[in-house]
Amino acid sequence: MGNSECKFCTIIKNKENLLYEDDHIVIFNDIYPAAQVHLQTVPKKHIKNINHLNKGDLDLLKYMKQKTMEYLVINFGEDQNYELGFHIPPFNSIPHLHMHSIKPPFIIGSFHKFIKNQIFRSYDVVEKTLEDKI
C-alpha cells in the first residue's frame, strides 16, 4: 500500500465503507455520484494516475475491470450501458489510480457528456494504450 496521506490509501487501510475487497482492489461508492450507480474501483497498490501505468500493470487493470463488472452484474444486473473509465491527469481529484464505474442515467445530465469528453478516458482506451506500449 502507498502513501499514508493519500485519501484512497486511508480508505483502504481503514476499510471505510467498502462494498468489495480482496488482496488487490477495493470497490466503494463515489462520494459525489454522477449517477445513481457510481462506484470507484481502487487498486491497493498505490499508482498515482493513468500516466504512471506501465505494461506490467495491464493484468491489474484487467482484473479491476473483471471484478468491477462482476460486482455490477451481481448487484445491479446485466447492462451494456455501464461506463468504466479514468480521469485524465491533471484532472484527478485524488492522486491514486481509481476507475469510475457509472450506470446511466446521469444525475448531472449533459454537463457529464462535456466533462467525459474533456477529462475522462474510457477503460478500453486506457487498456489499449497500455497494450500498445513498447
pTM, entire model? 0.88
Q: Which pLDDT value is given to residue 43?
A: 98
Q: Which pLDDT value is given to residue 110?
A: 45
The radius of gyration of the chain from alpha carbons, rounded to an integer in Å, stands at: 14
Q: Which pLDDT value is given to residue 114?
A: 46
Q: Which pLDDT value is given to residue 127?
A: 95
Q: 100 catalytic, yes or no?
A: yes
Residue 114 contacts residue 24 (beta carbons within 8 Å): no
- Residue numbers in the chain where pLDDT is lower than 50: 110, 114
Q: Give the burial class of 27: count Cβ atoms within 10 A of its Cβ; 0-12 exposed, 13-18 middle, 19 or more buried.
A: buried
Work out the angle at residue 33's Cα, subtended by the Cα atoms of residues 28 and 35, and round it to the nearest 5 degrees: 110
In the chain, what are the domains?
7-132 (3.30.428.10)
Among 38, 96, 98, 100, the one annotated catalytic? 100
Q: Which pLDDT value is given to residue 92?
A: 81
